Amino acid sequence: METNQETIFQDKVDHEIKIEPKDWMPEKYRQTLIRQISQHAHSEIVGMLPEGNWITRAPSLRRKAILIAKVQDEAGHGLYLYSAAETLGISRDEMYDQLHTGKAKYSSIFNYPTLTWADIGAIGWLVDGAAILNQIPLCRTSFGPYARAMVRVCKEESFHQRQGFELLLTLSQGTDAQKQMCQDAINRWWWPSIMMFGPNDDASPHTAQSMKWKIKRFTNDELRQKFIDMIAEQVKVLNMRLPDADLKWNEERKHYDFGKINWEEFWQVVGGNGPCNKQRLDARKKAWADGAWVREAATAYAEKKASLNPSKGGTSETV
Ligand code: FAQ
């Protein structure tokens, strides 16, 4: 039976009143948000790796500057999201620990390799494109800090998507080899991108409750369909094709029909057996270990500062 607090909480959600960190909330709501926001933060941070791989090999200064800015944006997104999750009572150290021990997930998409320069365009266009479609509704999610963080994230993601599309457009108008590289990247990133939206609704354990709490505003399948409808049109501008023989406009549904998703592959990747899972986690664990001296130095500095002037926390001149 619903308690009085639960009734008040659901009433606020139903009336579009944001839930703030100090408000009463059901424990499962708090846990669901910690799970989703921390997974989202980890995805941003792990997502820097496949693209970071190409910073030194970007083909011009302009492309290098754009890619550095994009990868740096992803770090920023991770930090806003970790901060939003911290307001729910979990520490950043705990979240990192969950990532490093494999307890927390991050998006399946970042376990695929970036084999050619065209992959950077495909990530911007398809991966950031899928991320935006999922994230725009999150600007209206019921938990205030998450919703507010998403506003800025979405603005930056829309720049990311355009730069990816522009990169592919350039390749698609280039030499035969460049056109081929462009098509090959689309072929490899298409299916993993549509898997990003998560399992079908009937196989998604969290969707119904998250919709009731207005954490999610659309189901996984609704967002996937929107994405496919959008990309099926945009690919025509590139003069490329999507690797799906069953992709076809359905006049009755007013949506594109599409082929079968390989859910076996998806669950293998989510379960840690994708092409780059080990490499990605090893890179994150190494970064954490390499940064130990910085954390130790910062803690020692803060303690020394506080001990020299406990009332004010010390000043930099006194150290
Ligand atoms: N990968 O019941 P549902 C980006 C898990 S950001 C791995 O449907 P839910 C920016 C799910 O966690 C990309 N695991 O779950 C960028 C659950 O497992 P659990 C990340 C997945 O939460 C671009 C189980 O399957 N975006 O790309 C995936 O209601 C370029 C059952 O699933 C977000 O995180 C998956 N794809 O819906 C950065 C957005 N899908 O936790 C760098 C926020 C599902 O019970 C470069 N998150 N699972 O063990 C969400 O909207 C939701 O969490 C969903 C999943 C839609 C991802």
pLDDT digits (tens, 9 = 90+) for 172-208: 999 999 999 999 999 999 999 999 999 999 999 999 9
Rounded mean pLDDT, 53-81: 97
Q: Give the model's pLDDT for residue 93.
A: 95
Q: Give the model's pLDDT for residue 3.
A: 83
Which residues neighbour 118 within 8 Å (Cβ) at sequence distance 6 or greater?
A: 167, 168, 171, 178, 181, 182, 184, 185
Candidates 219, 202, 223; CA nearest to 210 is: 219
Q: Is the CB of 206 under 6 A from ligand 1?
A: yes
Separation of CA 302 and ligand 1 centre (Å): 37
Closest C-alpha to ligand 1, atom 50: 36
Closest C-alpha to ligand 1, atom 34: 40
Q: Is the CB of 217 under 6 A from ligand 1?
A: no
Upper half-sphere CA count for residue 93 (Cβ side, 13 Å): 4
**Single-letter code of the amino acid located at 265:** E
Closest C-alpha to ligand 1, atom 27: 131
Work out the percent of the chain whose per-residue pLDDT is above 90: 95
Q: Give the model's pLDDT for residue 20.
A: 98
Separation of CA 281 and ligand 1 centre (Å): 17
Is residue 2 within a helix (H) or strand (E), and if so which, with residue range?
none
| Position 12 pLDDT exceeds 50 | yes
3-class SS of residue 91: coil
- Cα(32)–Cα(30) distance, rounded to whole angstroms? 6
| 33, 34, 36, 225, best to mutate for ligand 1 pocket (most atoms within 8 Å of CB) | 36
Separation of CA 233 and ligand 1 centre (Å): 25
| Position 52 pLDDT exceeds 80 | yes
Rounded mean pLDDT, 315-319: 48
Nearest atom within ligand 1 for CA of residue 107: 1
Candidates 102, 89, 109, 72; CA nearest to 37 is: 89
pLDDT digits (tens, 9 = 90+) for 92-118: 999 999 999 999 999 999 999 999 999
Q: Is the CB of 47 under 6 A from ligand 1?
A: yes
Q: Give the model's pLDDT for residue 132.
A: 95
Rounded mean pLDDT, 22-27: 97
pLDDT digits (tens, 9 = 90+) for 223-258: 999 999 999 999 999 999 999 999 999 999 999 999
Per the structure block, which two tokens stand in for 211? 């919709």
Averaged confidence pLDDT in the chain: 96
Confidence of residue 62 (pLDDT cuts 50, 70, 90): very high
- Cα(229)–Cα(236) distance, rounded to whole angstroms? 12
| Position 67 pLDDT exceeds 50 | yes
pTM over 0.85: yes
Nearest atom within ligand 1 for CA of residue 135: 39
Provide the H-helix boundaries in the chain.
4-14, 27-46, 48-52, 61-86, 92-100, 118-122, 128-135, 144-172, 176-195, 207-212, 220-238, 263-268, 277-290, 292-308
Which residues neighbour 145 within 8 Å (Cβ) at sequence distance 6 or greater?
A: 20, 21, 83, 84, 87
| Position 319 pLDDT exceeds 70 | no
Rounded mean pLDDT, 283-298: 97
- Cα(119)–Cα(317) distance, rounded to whole angstroms? 49
Least confident of 93-97, 263-267, 302-306, 312-316: 312-316
| Position 318 pLDDT exceeds 70 | no
pLDDT digits (tens, 9 = 90+) for 143-159: 999 999 999 999 999 99
Separation of CA 107 and ligand 1 centre (Å): 6
Separation of CA 174 and ligand 1 centre (Å): 35
- Exposed e or buried b per residue across 115-124, where buried means at least 16 C-beta atoms within 10 angstroms of its C-beta: ebbbbbbbbb
DSSP assignments along 207-234, one per residue: HHHHHHTTS-SS-HHHHHHHHHHHHHHH
More confident residue, 130 or 316: 130
